[in-house]
Amino acid sequence: MPPSSSPADRPSLFDFAGGEPAFFALATAHHARCLADPDLNHPFSHPGQHPQHVERLASYWAEVMGGPTVYSAECGDQAMVLRMHAGNGGMGDLGARFVQCFLAALDDAEWPDDDEFRRVLEAYIRWATDDVLVYAPVGAVVPDESRIPRWTWDGLQPTS
């Protein structure tokens, strides 16, 4: 079903991408690209990395894009995600590198090459990266409890 159909007829971004297998493929491809990047390598290879990092990243992105709420049910809320990445100090161009790895990983994971879909995904990853970088300064305080963001074809949706 083409994304340009009426909003009520559109599949979720999760479904359009291909469901859980597609998100696992994306998280795997993204992780590999970050490990291959000489500057992003460190945060993605440090000893404290969760053993199920790729699986958790896949379930997080799946939930954001309209999939099942596995991440929030099993791992935590948005505040926990932000706290994991907070207080590391200046990031230089790591945010931009992260975005580029994500965009390239879409092709690696063989996600649909649909212009509108790719624009929505790029808007999401740029927003998400900026959201994390707000808390990069040492001593940054992440507010308590916040819901996992939800993205649709129309972008970020209000959370209740």
pLDDT > 90? residue 154: yes
CATH code (residue 96): 1.10.490.10
The C-alpha atoms of residue 68 and residue 33 are separated, in whole angstroms, by 26
Question: The pTM is what?
Answer: 0.88
State how far the Cα of 130 lies from the Cα of 122, in Å rounded to an integer. 12
The answer to whether position 1 is within a domain reads no
Write down the residue that tokens 């965009």 correspond to.
103
In a domain, 7, yes or no: no
Section 32-60 average pLDDT:
78
Dump pLDDT digits (tens) for 62-111.
999 999 999 999 998 998 888 887 877 776 788 899 999 999 999 999 99
Domain total in the chain: 1
Among 115, 122, 97, CA closest to 34: 97
pLDDT(2) > 80: no
In whole angstroms, give the CA distance from residue 10 to residue 29. 26
Residue 4 lies in a domain: no
SS3 content of the chain, % helix, strand, coil (to 5): 55, 5, 40
In terms of residue numbers, what domain contains 67?
A: 13-157
Examine residue 5 and state whether it is found in any structural domain, yes or no.
no
